[in-house]
């Protein structure tokens, strides 16, 4: 099972919107909506931002949204803020009944 493909880095200015992609195959992202996104600040435990492809846990800002099309999932952050600067990881269920992560994306707020 290969890791999902994410861009190594993305950047944006405060107030702008950015989108992070997560590309897999028909054996993972393309097989179900069981996709999640995690935010991780340096030295911290990952925090769930999106689950089931597009649902937000209570307490997560509505500036964060998720979607899925075919074998690709996406995380969009609107109204970028300095506190959004972090690493973002996608994870998907696989048809092997396991899970697979993406390589992670570093977001820089300029």
The DSSP code sequence of 8-76 is: SEEEE-TT--EEEEEE--TTTGGG-S-EEEEEE-TTS--EEEEBTTTB--TTS-TTEEEEEETTEEEEE
Q: Sign of torsion, CA 79 82 87 93?
A: negative
Residue 11 found at the interface with other proteins (CB under 8 A): no
- Give the x/- contact pattern for other proteins in 25-44, rule: CB under 8 A: --------xxxx-x------
- Give the x/- contact pattern for other proteins in 48-77, rule: CB under 8 A: x--xxx---x--------------------
Q: How far is the CB of 18 from other proteins (least distance, A)?
A: 19
**What's the CA gap between 23 and 59, in Å, rounded?**
27
Residue 91 found at the interface with other proteins (CB under 8 A): yes
Whether 20 contacts 75, CB under 8 Å:
yes
16 vs 52, beta carbon nearer other proteins = 52
The residue from 20, 24, 56, 89 that contacts other proteins (CB under 8 A) is: 89
Q: Which residues bind other proteins (CB under 8 A)?
A: 1, 3, 33-36, 38, 45-46, 48, 51-53, 57, 87, 89, 91-93, 96-104
């Amino acid at each position: 099972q290969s890791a999902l493909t994410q861009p190594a880095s993305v950047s944006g200015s405060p107030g702008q919107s950015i989108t992070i992609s997560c590309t897999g195959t028909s054996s993972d992202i393309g097989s179900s909506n069981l996709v999640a996104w995690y935010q991780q600040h340096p030295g911290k435990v990952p925090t769930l931002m999106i689950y089931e492809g597009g649902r937000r846990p209570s307490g997560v800002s509505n500036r964060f949204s998720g979607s899925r099309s075919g074998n690709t999932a996406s995380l969009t952050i609107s109204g970028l803020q300095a506190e959004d600067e972090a690493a973002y990881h996608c994870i998907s269920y696989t048809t092997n009944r396991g899970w697979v992560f993406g390589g992670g994306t570093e977001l820089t707020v300029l």
